[in-house]
């Protein structure tokens, strides 16, 4: 018998198999273990899924947290760009131009509060914000006033903003104090006469081109400049 024949016969004789019934019995024993032990693949898949979900939640909550934390930030602070980005995002997701302008009006209040917070601690930044606020006045006031859905909001907002700006002017260094007062008067000039009249009636001692009681306490050069820059005769 050759080696090949021997191997072929050896293999044939050595082979035996389980019956199907026998295998079922054996599988039953194994299954009892497997049913209580998820596969490594399951754990890895489950772990990966859980990891992705966890990371997504962390990113989501972290983003939300950073955005939330940024809302009180001021120009020059690390989170301020996030605050401005979130404002742009709010404007971007509005469906129509009126809604977008309403959001813009709302955010002007933030700018004047920023000026109020910055006039002492960072006057340069306060001026930058004032520049931006003023620029927005020039660009949008006529737009807001021409839209019946916005004009009321705008007048109310301007009035409230003015109170904040006045407060800021009280504390501001002279150059910024002057700047703010000019801006306030400029706002008046841009509003319709009817509103100006209401304001004049409601706010005693503060009329276009005239100094308030508070103004009279200011240094003479401020008053002088204020008067000269007033649009009133």
Nearest to 109 by CA among 157, 163, 156: 157
Taking the complex as a whole, the smallest distance from the CB of residue 56 to other proteins amounts, in Å, to 21
Question: Could you give phi then psi for residue 172, rounded to 5 degrees?
Answer: -75, 155
Q: Report how many residues bind other proteins under the rule CB under 8 A.
A: 35
Closest to other proteins by CB, 25 or 89: 25
Closest distance to other proteins from the beta carbon of 17 (Å): 4
**According to the binding rule CB under 8 A, does residue 61 interact with other proteins?**
no
For every residue of the chain, DSSP letters joined together read --HHHHHHHHHHHH-----HHHHHHHHHHHHHHHTTS--HHHHHHHHHHHHHHHHHHHHHHHHHHHHHHHTT--TTSTTHHHHHHHHHHHHHT-SSHHHHHHHHHHHHHHHHHHHHHHHHH-HHHHHHHHHHHHHHHHHHHHHHHH-HHHHHHHHHHHHHHHHHHHHHHHHS-HHHHHHHHHHHHHHHHHS-HHHHHHHHHHSTT--TTS--HHHHTS-HHHHHHHHHH-S--
Residue whose CB is less far from other proteins, 51 or 61: 51
Site string for other proteins, 6-45 (x = CB under 8 A): xx-xxx-xxxxxxx-xxx-xxx-xxx-xxx-xxxxxxxxx
Q: Give least dist CB 48 to other proteins, A.
A: 10
Nearest to other proteins of 3, 96 (CB atom): 3
CB of 4 to other proteins, least distance (A): 10
Complex with other proteins: residue 47 or 85, whichever CB lies closer: 47
Is residue 3 at the binding interface for other proteins, with CB under 8 A as the rule?
yes
Instruction: Please identify, using beta-carbon distances, which residue of 13 and 201 lies nearer to other proteins.
Output: 13
CB of 45 to other proteins, least distance (A): 6
Q: Min. distance of Cβ 32 from other proteins in angstroms? A: 9
Q: Which residues bind other proteins (CB under 8 A)?
A: 1, 3, 6-7, 9-11, 13-19, 21-23, 25-27, 29-31, 33-35, 37-45
């Amino acid at each position: 018998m050759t080696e090949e024949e021997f191997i072929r016969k050896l293999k044939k004789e050595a082979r035996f198999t389980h019956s199907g019934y026998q295998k079922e019995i054996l599988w039953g024993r194994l299954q009892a273990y497997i049913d209580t032990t998820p596969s490594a693949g399951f754990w890895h898949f489950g772990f990966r899924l859980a990891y992705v979900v966890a990371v997504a939640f962390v990113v989501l909550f972290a983003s939300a947290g950073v955005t939330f934390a940024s809302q009180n930030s001021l120009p020059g602070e690390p989170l301020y760009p996030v605050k401005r980005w979130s404002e742009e995002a709010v404007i971007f997701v509005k469906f129509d131009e009126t809604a977008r302008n309403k959001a813009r009006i709302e955010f002007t209040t933030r700018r004047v509060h920023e000026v109020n917070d910055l006039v002492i601690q960072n006057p340069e930044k306060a001026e930058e914000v004032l520049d931006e606020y003023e620029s927005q006045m020039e660009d949008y006031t006529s737009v807001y006033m021409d839209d019946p859905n916005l004009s009321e909001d705008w007048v109310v907002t301007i009035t409230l903003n003015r109170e904040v700006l006045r407060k800021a002017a009280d504390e501001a260094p002279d150059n910024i104090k002057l700047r703010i007062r000019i801006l306030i008067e400029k706002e008046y000039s841009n509003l319709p006469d009817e509103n100006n009249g209401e304001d004049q009636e409601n706010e005693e001692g503060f009329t276009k081109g005239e100094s308030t009681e508070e103004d009279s306490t200011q240094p003479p050069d401020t008053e002088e400049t204020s008067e000269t820059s007033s649009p009133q005769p």
